[in-house]
Amino acid sequence: MRSQFKTAEPAKKNRQAKKSNASKGPNSEELLQEIQTEAYFRFLNRGAQHGFDQEDWIEAEKEVRARYQVSSN
């Protein structure tokens, strides 16, 4: 039986489109949407196992925010 969930990976094409705007960064609504999406993909990759929502959110938030960090070099 096939799993109803595909291996989840955040949409790379959306990342590519947003990289062009990376210098000004996302607005708060876009940032929240990216964090929600990333947390959801983490949930799916774990096999849709409940009980890890806070961990998923925290890690997703770290990852998304790191995408928009500007190097000091």
Q: Domain residues for 38? A: 25-67
Per-residue DSSP letter, 2: -
- Residue 18 within a domain: no
List, in sequence order, the alpha helices (H) in 1-73. Answer: 12-19, 28-45, 53-67
- Note down pLDDT in tens along the chain; length 73 residues: 444 445 555 554 455 445 545 557 788 899 999 999 999 999 999 999 999 999 999 999 999 999 988 444 4
Cα 2 to Cα 35: distance, rounded to the nearest angstrom: 28
Question: Is 48 among the domain residues?
Answer: yes
In a domain, 33, yes or no: yes
Count of structural domains within the chain: 1
